[in-house]
Amino acid sequence: MREYGVMTTPWTRLLASNRLFRRDGDDFVWPYEITVSLRESGPVIGIGEGVGHGAAGGMFSPQEALGRRAHFAKAQGEWLIPHIERMARGERVTAEELVEQFEQIHGRTPPLG
């Protein structure tokens, strides 16, 4: 994969959720999710929670996303904050970096966003 600054199509992955490893029969938990999209125009962070008509969320710049740190904790995505901080400073963050750290934490590749 290439750095987001040279990609022609967005790279988007669900990188944090308190429901990533749920199984049938598990108790219900209110879902929180963080999606990262690396686009030619710059990174976009998707922040969402809930299900069905009770769901809410949006797409945010890295700077805006950093103002929602409590959501990162609820989505078990605090590991993303240093990457988002780099994005907010205008630094390049690659898909490879994000996937590598996700795999180190979770032992598998991230699902599509």
pLDDT of residue 111: 85
pLDDT > 90 fraction of the chain, expressed in percent and rounded: 79
Domain boundaries, the chain: 4-106
Give CA–CA dist 32/28, Å, rounded.
12
* pTM, 2 dp: 0.86
Q: Is 56 helix (H, G, I), strand (E, B) or coil?
A: strand
Number of H helices, E strands in the chain: 4, 4
CB 54 within 8 A of CB 35: no
pLDDT band with cut points at 50, 70 and 90 for residue 46: very high
Residue range 55-68, pLDDT digits in tens: 999 999 999 999 99
